[in-house]
Structure 1
Amino acid sequence: MTSLKLTHKLALLALLPLLGLFLFAFLYAAQSYRTMVNTADMLPLTRLAGQAGQLAHQLQAERGLSASSINDQKGEFRSRLAEQRARTEQALRQFEQGGRLGGLEGEAATRLGQLQQALGRLSGLRQQVDARQLTVPQVVDQYSQVIATLLAVIDGAVPLAADAPQAAALSAYSAFLQAKDRLGLLRASLSSARVAGQFSPELYRRFAALEAQLASYMERFSVLAPPAWQEQYARLQSAPVAGEVAQAIALAHREHGNRALSGEAPAWFTLASRYIDELKGLEDGFADSLSGLAAAGHNDARNRFILALGMTLVVTLLTLAVCGIILRDLRRGFEALKQGIMRIASQQDFSQPVRVASRDELGELAGAINSMQRQLSALLGQMRDTCEHLMAHSGHTRSTLQVIQQDLDKGLGQVDLVVSAATEMSATVAEIARHASETFSAANHTIARASAGDRKVDQTISAIEQVAASLEHGEARVVEVAGYSRDVSNFLAVIKQISDRTNLLALNAAIEAARAGESGRGFAVVAEEVRSLALQTQGTADQIEEMLNRLRQGSEQAVDAMTRGRGRSLECVDEAKEAGAQLSAIVQEITQVNAMTEQVATATEEQRTVTDDIQHNIVVMKQGYDNTQSCAGELVRGSEMMEQMVVDLDRRLKAFTLGNDTREARG
């Protein structure tokens, strides 16, 4: 089932109720056809029932005349019996012609076979009657058996009726025939009693039983017969002949204990026969009505079958047409959806909408897909614009980082010069300290050798002049170091500006990456790393600036000390020159020089310590420059990586074909 197309699945889904509809329609049509066939079979059965009624009527008349002729000594019933037998034979031939039925099954076929056997024994029964070999009860019983077998054929046709009204009418007709048969038996019994002059006990019991059976069958007829039949029978019951028959039967009940019955047998037989003939008229009408009812039932069943067959064909064709139209529309809708989605998935084309003309769920789904397609197209257009802006910004950032790296390279070269100057200044200060020690030793020798003052004064003047020159040189070096520290401060300001700009660029890049969503996550990581490096550079620059401030303060103190030392040296030179004129004050002046020299030595030692600090700080600053240069290199590589990612993203976005509305919105 998973490999079937959706239209085939829908066709299978529609096929199941359609098959159910076909099955129901087929069953209904088959039932209508069976009803039509049954009603068609009932047509000859109803005609056979009418012919059976005719034959039963003639047999009943023959039975009465045969029973009366047994005790007829005068021969009054002989001629009438012969005429009745002729009428019976004619009715029998008609019944046999109508009784050639095929296709009967079950109880109806069995009863029809029994009837044919009973009718075959009729000729032998007549011979026995003519020979008076039978008694009246025997004659009545044997004729009654033939008639009962004949009427049983009608009862056997009741289950074959097509519907309940037809079955009720056929059952009522059978009850009416049974009642008429019982009336014929009453006619024969009372005729025999009047011929004999009285009722025998057995004959009277039979007479009373027949009357009860007559009432029972008429009650059954009243329950099952159609209203028209009941109305016709009610009119007959109100006729004088019915009243006379009822009076004769009531009189027979009253006189059954008498030795002689009043009335003549022929008169009673004629009266009863006239009433039976009236009933026969009703019977013929009932038979015609039954045939008409069967014909109407057959026509109705045939019409129902034709209607069922026609409705089945119409509903089938209509259902197939509706299913075909629905499946066609569904196939077209799903095909349009499939083509639209495949175009988006395989060709990455967002320029054409999915076209589904229906207003059902497929149309709503197509509208939702088109809305999503427009939103995705707008989003891709915005991402493409963002990539273009990022490409421009990344190029500018890369250029800026290259400038920063060049500035750092220059600053690193200047720092190397500062380190060399600081080293040289440290050596100079050490030299000054050494000279101060020598001056101190010389002063001690001068004190010890006061007698050699003239000769040593020149040496002292020369030494002091050298000290002054060294101090002047050290002062110049310290001033130069201070100038270098100011240059480094300027470079640090540039580095801090670059760091601030890098931090701002990284922040903008992070904002653009956040706008890009999932596709800008890698760019956001790079932007965060650039921002972190910028913050580290700014922190290192702050530390270097603090060290330079301390170096500047130390340099200013050293310059001040050297200035004072140089001034002192000049004073020593003047005093040494005056010593030549004032030898008397040599010892005192040399003592002062000794004290000054000691101060110079102390100051020089302090200057050497400060110079060492300056040298150490400059080395730290150089390390900071090295770190900044490394960070700048990482920033350049990160910028190049970010630019490559943006170019790749832009290439991927250009693979999508966007609609005109998206390009107009971007424009």
Structure 2
Amino acid sequence: MLRSLSFKLMAAMAALMLTVAAIILAASYTYLARQQQSNFEQEVDRNLELINSSLLEPLFAYDFQQLEAIAESLVNTALIDQLEITDHRGKAMADAQVSDQAAPGNQHRRDAVEVIRDGDVIGRYNVVFSSEQMAQVLSNQVSLGVIMVVALLVAALFTLALLVRRIVLKPLNLITDNLSHIAEGGGDLTRRLPTDSGDEIAHLSHSYNRVIDQIAAIIRGVVEVTNTFDEHVQQMNQASNDSSHSTDEQLKQLEQASTAINQLSASAEEVARSSGETAERTRDTHDASSRGVSVVQSSQGNIQRLTQQIEQTADKITLLKDSSQNIGKVIEVIRAIAEQTNLLALNAAIEAARAGDQGRGFAVVADEVRTLAQRTQSSTEEIEQIVLQLQTHADEAHDAMEQNTHWAQQTVESGKEVQQVLESVQAHISTINDMNHQVATAAEEQSSVASEVNRFIESVFALSGKVSDNARSMRASSDELLQENNELQRRMHNFKV
């Protein structure tokens, strides 16, 4: 803004001075042009008189050389570009001109100027005057005037710029700097501008000082309010933090309580279900134990009958053992008979051999008898082996039957013990069944109470959640408010009051 004002002042003064300078230059140019024109005309008149006086005698005497010399000398001056001389009859007598003539605009021609002697025209001449020297002088004077005016204009503008900077811009810059520093968020509000100049700038400085006084008073009040406000906001923030922590802790405890209640309810339901299943299983077990008692009783009867059959089988095996021993005795008799028969057949064969041809038939019969005796002896040995094996197996079967009889008797005793245990189990199962029924009833009641408590806890949990949300919202608002208040305090502390 200050640069714009300085530029505007300098531009206005420059325009004004340029206008004045242009007017002065225009007036000076007009004056100089008129003066130069008057001087040019006077020079022309003097040159015409000089030409007339110079040509009077040579024209009268028709001295061509003299005329040519005069013409050349006159043309060599800066004022004359061309000179043509004729006699009174128009006959050319001399002609001279410069090689580099002036521009047509700077040439001034005088034709048929008469040369008079004693009242008679003795000749004429045409002369071309050049105003180029006059124009050059005028241009030099104008250029000098322009340089002087520009120098004066620059000096005046520089002087004006210094005065404007010292008288106007310096106080305005001081005001602007203070206001800019305040606008940027800081500033020394104890600084005051001088008001002793007595001009409009002093009046502006006085008004600025009054405004700064008012701003300083407002900022002091705002600082006091923000300090008090900061204490209240911190207290509110602390309260909201405590409330938020308490509600969060309460929510955690309620959540844990709800979880525990749900687990308790689930456990109660599981206990009720397990109790029902246990009751069913105990009933099934009772029935199974009853059936087991019946089966044990039936097994005892079967085992007793089996024991009797085993004893009978053992007796029969004993008889079989005795019979096999008798068979052995018979085999011993048969073996002795076979040996005796074999011996007799051998003797008969010997006797038949002694008899010769008469005893051949008898020898054949003796061989057959001996063969049968040998086969009988071999079969007897095989039967003996079989009987021996039968006796061995009979002994083993007899021992096994005696062992089975012993185990069967122990099994009968164990069956009696099992029957007693099953009867005791039936009694305990009946007691357990009654207790399971009571546990199932209590578990159902506990599950109902737990469900009701869980509903109350869920309601309290929902309310606590709303309270926690409100506490968080209030804490967020207080935090944001505290940040804004801190920012305001920071900005206020930038001002020195």
Same fold (TM over 0.5): no
Q: Which of the five TM-score ranges fits, normalised by the shorter chain? A: 0.3 to 0.5
Taking CA–CA contacts closer than 8 Å with sequence separation of 6 or more, which of the two structures ends up with the larger relative contact order? 2
Which structure has more helix as a fraction of its residues? 1
Return the TM-score normalized by structure 2: 0.37
With structure 1 as the length reference, what TM-score do the two structures score? 0.30
Kindly indicate which of the two structures has a greater share of residues assigned to strand: 2
